[in-house]
Amino acid sequence: MALDKATIEKLARHCEDAEVNAYEITKITDDYPEMTYEDAYDIQWTARANKEAKGHKIVGMKMGLTSQAKMKQMGVPNPCYGYLADYFSYGDGAQIEHDKLIHPKVEAEIAFVLKDDLVGPGCHIGDVLAATDFVMPAVEVIDSRYKDFKFDLKSVIADNSSSSRYVTGGQARSVDGLDLKTLGVVMEINGEIVQLGAGAAVLGHPATSIAMLANMMGERGEVLKAGTYILSGAITAAVSVNKGDNVTVKFQHLGTVSFKFV
Ligand code: 0L1
Ligand code: MG
């Protein structure tokens, strides 16, 4: 740990303020190059506690940067995680206000809901499949607070892994009989196909991502609790969206998620 408690608290307020008021900031490591990964997660967990103190509920978790292509593109060595607050959450058919965001992008994801706790370290894909109550289709709206989405991994972690909004729809299904690795998705914006993908884009299998989350949380003594809703990571590349855009993502076996930016 390189940053003291007062600096962690200051940076948590800095990131959260940029998120709530939708303005750009420069990456934290420009001013604090000594920041460690532990500091970065301390900033995220402090911002999370501040949200709860203001009366918000934390309703889930997300994994980010889970594809080899995206890690390579962003020049980062590992995936990261973040939390989902109540006001991030939207249902199928939603209208999301574009003006409340900075430069949003959309990604198709499979969401997991757990029926048992997952406790890392040592958690593996089999533990995840056994602990999964159901999966559902979701679309994550990411909105890095960093100018032009320019960041390094530590700065992204402090910024809650770019969490912003997410939309859940389609059908809830047990993982029994579903091959999440080959499950296909088609993303359309304003009726035009913009992305195709399959579940294997997420660390080879989306459940691997959930195991990694449990193991990363385990390093901090945190447990991924039964009932948690988790976005497992992007199946498609993230696509920039504008005001007025209609987004529809069709998931094989799981139905469709549609919404609009207004
Ligand atoms: O959910 C994601 O994969 C995004 C994580 C943060 C990186 C970014 O903003 O692109
Ligand atoms: Mg994502």
From 80, 88, 231, mutation site for ligand 1 pocket: most ligand atoms within 8 A of C-beta: 80
Residues in the chain: 262
Integer Cα distance of 72 and 187 in angstroms:
22
Percent of the chain with pLDDT over 70: 100
Report the separation in Å between the CA atom of 5 and the middle of ligand 2, taken as the mean of its atom positions: 29
Question: Given a cut of 90, is residue 9 above it in pLDDT?
Answer: yes
Residue 191 backbone class (left: φ over 0; alpha: ψ -120 to 50; beta: rest): left
Average pLDDT over residues 77-104: 97
Quote the pLDDT of residue 74: 81
84: closest CA among 175, 203, 213? 213
Question: Above 90 in pLDDT, residue 82?
Answer: yes
- Domain borders along the chain are 5-261
Question: For the chain, how far is it from start to end, CA to CA, in angstroms?
Answer: 42
The pLDDT of 87-92, averaged and rounded, is: 98
pLDDT of residue 77: 86
Q: What does the alpha-carbon distance between residue 148 and residue 106 come to, in Å, rounded to a whole number?
A: 15
Residues with CB under 6 A from ligand 1: 64-65, 140, 142, 144, 149, 156, 161-162, 233-234, 238
Question: Which residue lies with its CA nearest to atom 4 of ligand 1?
Answer: 64
Q: Which ligand 1 atom sits nearest the alpha carbon of residue 66?
A: 3
Nearest to 249 by CA among 92, 99, 143, 59: 92
CA 167, CA 171: separation in Å to the nearest integer?
13
Beta carbons within 10 angstroms of residue 6's beta carbon? 8
Q: Does domain 5-261 have CATH number 3.90.850.10?
A: yes
Q: Is residue 190's pLDDT more than 90?
A: yes
Nearest-CA residue for ligand 1 atom 1 is 64
Q: How confident is the model at residue 75 (pLDDT cuts 50, 70, 90)?
A: confident
Report, as an integer, the average pLDDT of 90-107: 98
- Indicate which ligand has the atom closest to the C-alpha of 239: 1
Q: Are 139 and 90 in contact (CB under 8 A)?
A: no
Tell me which of 149 and 226 has the higher pLDDT.
226
Q: What does the mean pLDDT of the chain come to?
A: 97
Contact 82, 162 (CB under 8 A): yes
What is the predicted pLDDT for the residue at 3? 96
Measure 105 CA to ligand 1 centroid, in angstroms.
Answer: 9
Question: Could you report the per-residue pLDDT of 32-59, keeping only the tens digit for each?
Answer: 999 999 999 999 999 999 999 999 999 9
Question: Model pTM greater than 0.85?
Answer: yes
Pick the atom of ligand 1 nearest to 143's CA: 9
What integer is the mean pLDDT of 193-197? Answer: 97
* Res 13 pLDDT > 90: yes
Q: Which of 143, 162, 230 to mutate to test the pocket of ligand 1 (most atoms within 8 A of CB)?
A: 162
Distance 128 CA to ligand 2 centre (A): 19
At residue 225, the pLDDT reads 98
Quote the ligand 1 centre to 51 CA distance (angstroms): 21
User: What integer is the mean pLDDT of 108-113?
Assistant: 98
Nearest atom in ligand 1 to 144's CA: 9
Tell me the pLDDT band of 244, cut-offs 50, 70 and 90: very high
Q: Which atom from ligand 1 is nearest to the alpha carbon of 67?
A: 3
Task: Assign 49 to helix, strand or coil.
Answer: helix
209-233 average pLDDT score:
98
Residue 239: per-residue pLDDT: 97
Helices 37-53, 5-21: inter-axial angle, 10-degree rounding: 60
Distance, CA of 130 to CA of 114 (rounded, Å): 9
Determine the distance separating the centroid of ligand 1 and the alpha carbon of 114, expressed in angstroms. Answer: 23
